[in-house]
Amino acid sequence: MHSPKVNVVFHRGAKEIGGNCIEIESQGIRILLDIGKPLVKEGQSAPDMSGVIQKGSQYDAVFISHAHSDHFGLLAHLDSNTPIYCSQATFDLLAIHYRWREKSRLPVNSFHTFQTEQVVKIRNPNHRAEMEVIPFLVDHSAFDAHGFVVRANGKVLVYSGDFRNHGRKGNIYRRVLSLLDDRPVDLLMMEGTNLGRPAQYVQSEWSVEKRLCTSFQQTAGLIGVTFSMQNVDRFVSVYCAALQSKRKLVIDLYSAVVLEAVSRYTPIPGPTAANIEVWLPANQYVAPAWSTAHLRKKIRPTAQLLDDIRQTPGKYVVLVRDSMMHELRSLRFSVHIYSLWRGYADSPKTESMRHVMQQTGCRWEFIHTSGHATRACILQFLKDVPARNLRIIHSEGVHADYANLLALYSDFAWRGETFSC
């Protein structure tokens, strides 16, 4: 006899940033929303996963909101036949991640792709009941990120996933309203990453693009930019700034593979565009076989490309990562723009990259905007999607700058909490 209620367990992603893993059970059907690996800083030991998801765990379905590892990184803990649901673009990015980063196959065999706003019905063969999960598109720094509406046993639950409204898709999350049909929401599970950080002005992606353009145009020599190709908004910003300053953008093969995958789903230039150069760093030497013939043709011999860059440094922008520095150290960069979360900039590897570049007099700039909702955006979401119950996840709590939001504090999920409605 199953409980007539809907039960929610916050395995992880509660009072911590990342590692989201939320279990929903109703009428004998058990699903997970995300199965993320908790974020650990370089040098930190792996987090204690005991009592969370046991190796070989079985669920009727696991929904992945987007291809950031703090939302999918523990897939290998599941029984390999567990049905996994994600968008086709997210599936492609997961496949690239496992092949290139983990050097392995996907750890789970049974993938099902959904369309945005498709009603996915999950039935347990032993029960007549069903659960409906409806993905809705959100704006985030990962491509094709989704939140989910879950309908179970007459109850409605909303999971925001990671979202914001200051990127190129803006308030796209508001499409969720049409899925709710004015029905009350019994539980809203919403990300609150920025609630735990000091209050600061958060610029839009357009403002990032403008700052990049200005910096590129004011620099005579070679520019290095550190950014993630999965952050398509950021690629567009860097690409547009390169175009406007009449520079070619130089990317490594792995980034070209990600760009090729993403450009199949959205009208952005692919890696074979005329003003993109592709090169093969030594640590990707086994990789050409994992790319398309188009891309293999596009790879420039490294020595020749570096020569060209040395001769006309003002004509190039190079995507740089710490792993490439031993090959790129012969280049003289005028400016290095760090365009990732500032927290990563203090890692020993990044420090060492910065040190190598500064030895040649390179200037360091930080141009970035958060992939997560601002305080104003969070409040707007709460207004748009009024809910009987709220649990804030993917957050370390409320920073003192948000003292007037302390009333929300009791609504933060805690690890292992079971919520029933």
CB of 388 to Zn ion, least distance (A): 27
Tell me the torsion sign for CA atoms 52, 54, 59, 65.
positive
Q: Does 162 bind Zn ion (CB under 5 A)?
A: yes
Nearer of residues 65 and 219 to Zn ion, judged by Cβ: 65
Q: Residue 246's CB: how many other CB atoms inside 10 A?
A: 11
Nearer of residues 37 and 321 to Zn ion, judged by Cβ: 37
Nearer of residues 15 and 71 to Zn ion, judged by Cβ: 71
Q: Which stretch binds Zn ion (CB under 5 A): 8-16, 38-46, 137-145, 225-233?
A: 137-145
CB of 250 to Zn ion, least distance (A): 27
Can you tell me the distance from the alpha carbon of 48 to that of 46, in angstroms, rounded to the nearest whole number? 7
Contacts of 226 (CB under 8 A, 6+ apart): 319, 320, 321, 336, 337, 338, 339, 340, 350, 353
CB of 162 to Zn ion, least distance (A): 4
Nearer of residues 281 and 371 to Zn ion, judged by Cβ: 371
What is the dihedral angle through the alpha carbons of 14, 19, 25, 31, rounded to the nearest 10 degrees? 160
For Zn ion (CB under 5 A), the number of binding residues is 3
CB of 4 to Zn ion, least distance (A): 34
Q: Which stretch binds Zn ion (CB under 5 A): 83-91, 112-120, 139-147, 243-251?
A: 139-147
- Copy the structure tokens of residue 137: 């598109």
Nearer of residues 89 and 362 to Zn ion, judged by Cβ: 89
Beta bridge partners of residue 175, listed in sequence order: none
CB of 5 to Zn ion, least distance (A): 30
Nearer of residues 92 and 162 to Zn ion, judged by Cβ: 162
CB of 371 to Zn ion, least distance (A): 6
Q: Residue 103's CB: how many other CB atoms inside 10 A?
A: 8
Helices (H), 97-184: 176-180
Footprint of Zn ion on 288-327 (CB under 5 A): none
Q: Does 37 bind Zn ion (CB under 5 A)?
A: no
CB of 235 to Zn ion, least distance (A): 16
Q: Which stretch binds Zn ion (CB under 5 A): 89-97, 158-166, 334-342, 356-364?
A: 158-166
- Copy the structure tokens of residue 227: 């950014």
Nearer of residues 68 and 247 to Zn ion, judged by Cβ: 68
Burial label for 346, CB within 10 Å (0-12, 13-18, 19+), is exposed
* Integer CA distances (angstroms), 121 to 5, 124, 130, 144, 180, in order: 18, 10, 6, 21, 16
CB of 142 to Zn ion, least distance (A): 5
Q: Which stretch binds Zn ion (CB under 5 A): 141-149, 177-185, 219-227, 332-340?
A: 141-149
CB of 312 to Zn ion, least distance (A): 37
Which of 247, 248, 272 minimizes the C-alpha distance to 259? Answer: 272
- Per-residue contact string for residues 50-69; x = within reach of Zn ion by CB under 5 A: ------------------x-
Nearer of residues 142 and 258 to Zn ion, judged by Cβ: 142
Q: Which stretch binds Zn ion (CB under 5 A): 138-146, 181-189, 201-209, 245-253?
A: 138-146
Nearer of residues 142 and 331 to Zn ion, judged by Cβ: 142
Q: Which stretch binds Zn ion (CB under 5 A): 93-101, 135-143, 171-179, 387-395?
A: 135-143
Q: How many residues does the chain have?
A: 421
Q: Does 394 bind Zn ion (CB under 5 A)?
A: no
Q: Which stretch binds Zn ion (CB under 5 A): 2-10, 161-169, 176-184, 314-322?
A: 161-169
Q: Which long-range contacts (CB under 8 A, 24 or more apart) does 199-207 make?
A: 199/375, 199/399, 199/401, 199/402, 202/166, 202/369, 202/370, 202/374, 203/166, 203/369, 204/166, 204/167, 204/369, 205/166, 205/167, 205/168, 205/233, 205/234, 205/237, 205/369, 206/168, 207/369
Q: What string of H, E and C letters represents the secondary structure of 282-298?
A: HHHCCHHHHCCHHHHHH
CB of 376 to Zn ion, least distance (A): 20
Nearer of residues 20 and 291 to Zn ion, judged by Cβ: 20
Instruction: Please give the residue ranges that form the binding site for Zn ion (CB under 5 A).
Output: 68, 142, 162
